[in-house]
Structure 1
Amino acid sequence: MSIGYAALLRGINVGGHKKVPMAELREVLEGLGHADVATYLQSGNAVFTSDSTDQQALAEALERAVEKRFGFAVGCLVRDHAYLRAVAEDCPFPAAELEGRQLHATYLSEPVDAGRFASVDAQAYLPEEFRLGERVMYLYTPNGLGRSKLAEALGRPALYKGVMATTRNWNTVVKLVELTRD
């Protein structure tokens, strides 16, 4: 039975760096034997179906294929529809009342504990807030991510040592749930 997945590529097509045309990304995914391949936006979101249940193996195969095709390494997370739906449903912020640019999900390669972010004084950034979920960080930025001081503080690489992280706005979070339905 085929499972619907989203592939979340980190840091492509940003500021002219690590260019990955979406048509070529679709070819890479099809070349790996995946079906129902589609891309969403230009920021490294692809959906596909596969009979495999090993999300880590799917991500690693895609990372190798992207590096072979484009000549640079790109971190990739692969998440199934059930996980993506749970992220949307478990959001601790009132998503339905917010604009997509005000709410973000940072998908994480593995679970992290709150202690990892203890150096970030959350009170100092209010009304901006973040909360941790299952391999995800929810980030509420009322004025958008680009103006967020909290996002800047949370973006320090030292906080993610050993963990791959990639962020999507809430509109993309919701769309990926829709696109990965079985």
Structure 2
Amino acid sequence: MTATEQHPAASGERADLLAILARQRNFLRFAVRELTDDQARQRTTDSELTLGGLVKHVSAVERNWAEFIVKGPAAMPDFNAMTEADWEAWADDFKLLPDETLSGVLAGYEQVARQTDELVATLPSLDDAQPLPEAPWFQDASEWSARRVVLHIIAETAQHSGHADIIRESLDGQKTMG
């Protein structure tokens, strides 16, 4: 089963969530079609974002949040305690590094997608919640249900797919969504 196919155990709300997520993943993958590794590393805007870096970042975000569903805040770093070196390492998730390839990060993304799909399809309840990790952007210290985490993964993927569309159009005129 590929990440674009429906998980056989998913039905109802879970099938809907996975279908929406699969669609957003496809937009991102389509944005990087037929690129060389050098093109995937190229900045085309004032932003630091690159196409390869976006795929790598979205993969890491999805993996981390899926792990959060199972392990709670222990799956996330303590953002308030991160050092400058930690932040620099975190920033590498936004870059296709010299020893990485676009095909390699796409393969990793496919694996993450399969694992997330399996988790969403087989969770006992989408209502199960975990307290959010300590982070400057989580001021209210609330908790998120598995459903809300999946919706967050969908939103992140959609947002970055839009970024990828702009970067790709700036790179070579190809469009993803229009």
TM-score (norm 2): 0.28
Whose helix proportion is higher, 1 or 2? 2
TM-score (norm 1): 0.28
Relative contact order, higher structure (CA 8 A, sep 6+): 2
Whose strand proportion is higher, 1 or 2? 1
